[in-house]
Structure 1
Amino acid sequence: MAQKKSYSRYFIILQEDEKGYALASDKLPSGYTKLEIKNDKCKVSYYVQNLKKESAPYYMLLICNKKDVKKLLKLGELNIDEHGRAEVSYEYPVENVANFGVGVDKIVGAAIVRLMNSNIIPVMSGFASTDIPEWKGFSIIESELKRQEEAQEEKVEKAVEVKAEAKKEEQREESKEEQRNIFDEYEKKIEEEKVKDKEEEIKVIEEMPRNEAAQIEISNNEENIEEIEIDPEDERHKKKCKKDSCEIKHEEKHEENCEEKHEEKHEENCEEKHKEKHEEKCEEKHKEKHEDKCEEKKEHKHEYKCDENYPKDNISMLFMDVADGFEELQGICSEIKRCKWYKVPVYRPEDMTSCAHYNKYTVAYYPMVNYYPYIRKHGHFILGYKHDKDNKMKYLVYGVPGTKSRIDQPFGGRTGFVTWVPLVEGEEEENSQGYWLMFYDFRSSTIVIPVR
């Protein structure tokens, strides 16, 4: 059984409930509540922006909705600065959040409210799932006696939930181990192919000098044979000349004339043959050199074509399966080289949480659930597959549409969205449309900050 991790965290996105509390008409309130669990400690953080400062205080609430525990935990006041922002953190034991005797596993949501007598006025709220209770009717825990009674009732329930959570954690670890095995197998295959290609290249280089030497030796032998066959000093040649000139009295003079003619003819033949052979070799070398240059230009021109040469290994097939059904986008984010882009439509929060395809949900939707307030204005986000120069999958890239203004940057860049690229290359004004990008290394499960 896999050992349970000692650290986990999740975000609860806060959205506007009641109108009239925005800092300006074009700046809607937004923010999040973050729960970080490490060993036996729980850190609760609130962050909001664009919230109007009021004379009456705002209060932070944690919403519990587990069987008989339907309560609101009042953490304290939230002080808004002059820019409409606030950021505050608390740390509690995981079994005693806010010293109310309630475990962190009972928390399903968070809210920012105003209290008017016994009435709750909701300003912002958010939940970790789509199951939203009628929380405004829950009572606020303030009595120490009630906290102790509720803690006693939760002991039995906790044992069951801990066991279920351990089982889920084991399944998640098994899934991650399977993916790591796929990645390792892919890396091993690539390395084997590189070694094989290198060995074949060395073999060709070693064989080339021997072939060229053999060709030169054959050519030399052919030239020697030709010279022997038409050698004017050959005895048989002399006899033939003598037989043809039997009517001439001065045999020696005839032999000189015959020998001179044969030598001239022989020299002409040799010169012609050598000329033809030289021209053939020059033409062959020129042709080979021309073909090498053409091939080099062709390879350089087609250095990277992801559509034609997309790998067909297990990990690549997994990501291709995730992208199935998404619209592929062309000509966007040209600053990011060797990257395939897909448009992921989102019209409501349920679109991101109700996907039945496990890989599509975990790769595309789940990492972007917390950014719905930024996505909903444009109805989509983009998913990129970034490759290296060897056409090997390197990063996942998530893109949220918006202007270059900090207002549209998800959570001010705190969660990795620090790179902005224009929709149209060259248009980089403050109000130009584009995408805020976050690079994710899926092999090490870390966010990568690119260096420009």
Structure 2
Amino acid sequence: MSMEYTYFRKYIILKNDYTNISNINPKGYAKVEIRGNKGIINFNVENCEKEEYYRVYLLKEENGQVYEEDLGRIFADDHGRLRRDITLNLRELESKGFSIDKIDAILIRRGIYVLLGGYIDKDNKVLDRSIKRLLSEEKQEIDVEEAFDLLEEELIEEEKLIEEEIIEEDVEQDVQKDFHLPEEELIDEEIVDTVQVLDHQEQEAIEEEIIEEEVQEEVFEEPSLDKLEAAEDNVGEGTDLQEEEPETTVDGKDPYMESYESLEYARRLHHRNQMTKYILSILRFFPQVQPLKIYLHNYSWWRIEDDGTEPYRGFLPYYNYLMSSDYKYPFLHNSATCMNQIRKYGHYLFGLYKEGKETKYYVYGVPGKFTQEEHPFKGITGFNTWYDSLDGIGYWILYIDPITGKVIYPINPMVPSY
């Protein structure tokens, strides 16, 4: 096919040679019509799974690599029939590298479950290679919710280990510094090792024996009469009896608080690293892109196709910053929201900004022009930076600190004048 045609129509027979869904025998066709820079694909399929959905992908092969363009979901009715028209913007497709004359095939699937596929012109085996890649990833693909649950369990276990290690180090340092622990009160290491492997009752019995031995061995100094009289005089003068103040460092900080703060920071740092690993494991299923006109060093971007109709299904961390921003503030009547923009343009961006090997920020990009009408909530939720994109629309950017989970507000916001 060529963009030179002002009108083009073609029927594509969708074959079930690649179907790996049991108990169905689907069949159907797709009709492609092109008029100028606009097009439409009409799907007519039967014998699908009843009341189930699938996604439509355009396939192309370039330099031995198979690429997909997701056109969205299509639904089968309660009789297993599928009727749907999908409109095409040829200029938008071309900006993504999917010019109409380079598209090889159409594939209908749900995850790794293939319904039908068909070639637009000739059979160049791109469907075989695409499906082979899907099946090879079947063992690695993990459901997003299940992956998140597993991650939470791992984080909890590893945080416990970190806390135990830090506490043990603090105890060892306190003992070495003679931190209010006289040497005669330290229990022999062999006794400690023995107590750790006994049950609760045996531990209590051993502790009672140790206490009795220590009481018998202790020699108390008999207070002199002068000391008793001095103590009585002090009490008579109204002197308050106070407990010994906890030891502090030279700068007046509580060493216990310092231990707590270092433990909390270590926990947050570990959580960030594990969360970043989880994010990268999920983002490998989405195309990595460079959508901006200017190249931002140390940034990595992924395009997430989303029609904005099911915001509760967001699977990336802090997605609620996009979802909660959909709330209509009474003093910002008719202002743009993140969900408005995502529904309008059909996608959003997720990015990572790194300094060295460490992830410094999580970044969300919501598509929108540099206008008051498309500025999400006029910036009060954090979208105060805008970059132009290759397609001429642009993105409003939100920065999130992965350690604290808080929104970072830029010192010099890049927003339209109000």
Asked if these proteins are the same fold (TM beyond 0.5), I'd say no
- Determine which structure has the larger helix proportion and give its number: 1
Q: Which has the larger radius of gyration?
A: 1
TM value normalised by structure 2 = 0.31
The TM-score, its normalising length taken from structure 1, stands at 0.30
